Structure 1
């Protein structure tokens, strides 16, 4: 555990995830070009991205179960191969249906990667470093976004559609080769003696789904991950280039602030989670609604939000990435070791379920706003700033649903913790008052 070999495995697996995130976000970077190439509207383009994320979300639980049974290394390699095939197919596609099939392959390969990487960690590492490693994996994934918004976007604009997506596919081939060479399963999860002590009713996917901590992890990931998924995969880059009129260089620079936010906040969030494990849900709420506050200010600013505010928005959205990973840590710590893969798969589907609903909702609203504009005699402006304002506000509903779900499941989880272990978690305001010197009720944990 925690050996040099462990870090070598971690490096190979994390690189595979970096490339997976690059593949996940390339279609969003090429969203405007895709509209022209396939001669379709915004809703159709959003459907392609949504199908990719639906495939990803639907496969999270099966992948988690497979990671527990057949091992994460095989899934990581197969995922990279599937993404390479998908990007190669997209590079030659001339119609929307072929593009849809290509993104399904990318979604399948992407789905096999992250949960498998997270599942590897307890087999190679132990101690308080585990929640921090989850954040480091997420930070590495954000570097994949850097690759998609800089080298890939540059290649797309200079060389065109086919060379750009072929190069992206080649990167996944390299990731598959590296993972096959470096990534191995860690220490066995269970001994024979341990197997005899496990209640059969406590094993399997149904048991993981029934645990309140798994459900809390799902809602935490949905609340923290919806906006980064929606902006990072589909609508962030078109909002900057078509909605705000930024040139590609400026748009890429602003978009990269999302990556900066993740890279800067990831280690801090990891340390806070390790230091205050009972306050993980509070941390998700503060970060998510802080980002929504900045988003609201950006959308309400008239006539056009200034560059610094837009950059602050993408920086705040980047911080939501580490917040969403808190949900995975909640699910992992609420389940026995043999069920970590299943629980992580359930929790990791949250942000992507919210993300694909938000992406589809934004695309539909953009089309409706443009149709109303044209019906009123104005020229068509599908990706206009006013359309994005209305469409983005419509997606706030998902944040409200996520918050309600998180609070409800947190209450359930804390009640069970009190019933089973006698631990009562004080409300955050009690802890804050206690920090100012007030006496905390006996038997209540901060």
Structure 2
């Protein structure tokens, strides 16, 4: 455990996830080009992206079960191969139907990757570094978003649609070769901290789904992961280029700040959850609603938000990436080792369920807003206008409210079960902060 070979396996698996994120986000960078190439409206483009994410979300639980049964390396290699085929098909597609099939393949391959990488970690690492590794995987994967925002976007701009997506397909083929060469299943070590299950009724997928900790992980991932998914996969780049009018270089730079936010905050979040495991949900709430507060200022600023404010907002969205991974850590620590894959898959579907709902509804609202503008007497259509985005971006707030209610509801159940089974009582955050402040106060000295 924690050996040099373990780090080699980690590197190969993380590289496969990096390339997977590139494939996941490439269509968002090409969203405006896709509108012209396929001669469709915003709702259709959002539907293509939503189909990809629906497939991803639906496969999270089956992939988790397969990772537990046949091993993560097989799924990582297979996922890279399927994504290579999907991107190659998209490169030569001339109609929206073929594009949908191509993105379905990308969604299938993407679904097989991340959960498998996370499932692999307990087989090669142990100790306090384990919860931090989930953050490191997320950070490494987000480098794929930099690749889509810069090299891929530049290649798309200079060489066109087909060469750009063929290059992306080649990257997935390379990831498959690397994973096949270095990624191995490993042998998990049984520790005294492992959650043991004796009753066979508690060993199935249904048991993982019904555990409050798994459900809490789902809601935490949905709350923190919805906006990064929605902006990173589809609507972030069009908002910057068409909505705010930024040139491609400026838009790519701001778009990449999501990755910077992830890279900077990931180690900090990992350290915090390792030191304060009972306060993980509080951290999710604080990070996510802090981001939404900044977003509100961006949307309300007239006539248009300044570049520095938009940059801060995209940085804060990046911080939500590590916050969403807290949900996976909650699900993992609430389940026995044999169910880590299925529990992670259930939790990891949260942000993508929220993502595909918001992606679809944002596209619908953009179309409706443009139709209202034309009906009111506007001389021309402006599908991706800033005013349209101001209205459409109210949708994620509604999803966040639902996610917050779900998180608080399941947190109460999780904490009650923790008290019943282990005798650990988790006090409200304000009580814990008050006690901590009291402990730090120096004793009074009488003169």
Q: Report if the CA contact (8 A) 2:195-2:336 is conserved.
A: no
Is the contact made by 1:190 and 1:338 (CA closer than 8 Å) also made in structure 2?
no
Q: Retained in 2: the 8 A contact 1:189–1:338? A: no
How far the C-alpha of 1:189 sits from its partner, in A, is 6.5
1:433 Cα deviation from its structure 2 partner: 1.0
- Match of residue 418 from structure 1: 419
Partner of 1:47: 47
1:71 is the counterpart of 2:35: no
Segment drifting more, 151-160 vs 201-210: 201-210
**Paired position in structure 1 for 2:84:** 84
Which residues of structure 2 form unaligned runs of 5+?
441-447
* Structure 1 partner of 2:444: none
Paired residue for 1:398? 399
Task: Spell out, residue by residue over 1:257-303, the C-alpha distance to the aligned partner (whole angstroms, 9 max, x if none).
Answer: 10000000000000000000000000000000000000000000000
Which has the higher mean CA deviation after the structures are superposed, 399-408 or 373-382? Answer: 373-382
Match of 1:58 in 2: 58
State the partner residue of 1:222: 222
State whether residues 226 and 396 of structure 2, in contact with CA within 8 Å, keep that contact through their aligned partners in structure 1: no
Per-residue deviation, 1:198: 2.9
Report Cα offsets for 1:356-382 as digits up to 9, x if no partner. Answer: 000001000000000001111102100
Residues in 2 aligned to 1:380 and 1:189: alpha-carbon distance in whole angstroms: 61
Counterpart in the other structure of 1:306: 306
Within 2, Cα distance between the matches of 1:123 and 1:438?
39
SS class of match (1:424): coil
Distance in 2, matches of 1:370 and 1:89, equals 32
Quote the residue 1:155 is aligned against.
155
TM alignment of 1:267-282, pairs within 5 A = 267-282=267-282
Residue pair 2:197, 2:336 contacting (<8 A) in 1 also: no
The correspondence of residues 75-154 of structure 1 with structure 2, limited to 5 A, is 75-154=75-154
Q: Distance in 1 between matches of 2:122 and 2:198?
A: 19
Q: Distance in 1 between matches of 2:122 and 2:270?
A: 16
| Separation in structure 1 between the aligned mates of residue 361 and residue 83 of structure 2, nearest angstrom | 26
The equivalent residue for 2:4 is: 4
The aligned residue for residue 320 of structure 2 is: 320
CA distance in 1, matches of 2:47, 2:127: 42
Distance between the aligned counterparts of 1:127 and 1:8, measured in 2? 18
What displacement does 1:326 show? 0.1
Provide the residue aligned with 1:369 in structure 2: 369
CA distance in 1, matches of 2:394, 2:210: 33
Query: Which residue pairs with 2:385 in the alignment?
Result: 384
In structure 2, the residue matched to 1:338 is 338
CA contact (8 A) 2:214 2:331 kept: yes
Determine the C-alpha separation between the residues in 1 that align with 2:88 and 2:140.
Answer: 24
CA–CA separation in structure 2 for the residues paired with 1:196 and 1:59: 27
TM-superposed deviation, 1:188: 4.5
Aligned match of 2:445: none
- Does structure 1 retain, via aligned residues, the 8 Å contact 2:63–2:111? yes
Normalised by the length of structure 1, the TM-score is 0.96
Report how many residues are paired. Answer: 437
Deviates more, 1:262-271 or 1:428-437: 428-437
In 2, Cα distance between the equivalents of 1:141 and 1:259?
A: 9
Other-structure match for 1:256? 256
Distance across 2 between alignment mates of 1:333 and 1:359: 31
Summarize the alignment of residues 175-194 of structure 1 with structure 2, pairs less than 5 Å apart: 175-188=175-188
Q: Secondary structure at the match of 2:40?
A: coil
Asked if the contact 2:195/2:335 (under 8 Å) is kept, the reply is no
Q: Offset at 1:435?
A: 2.1
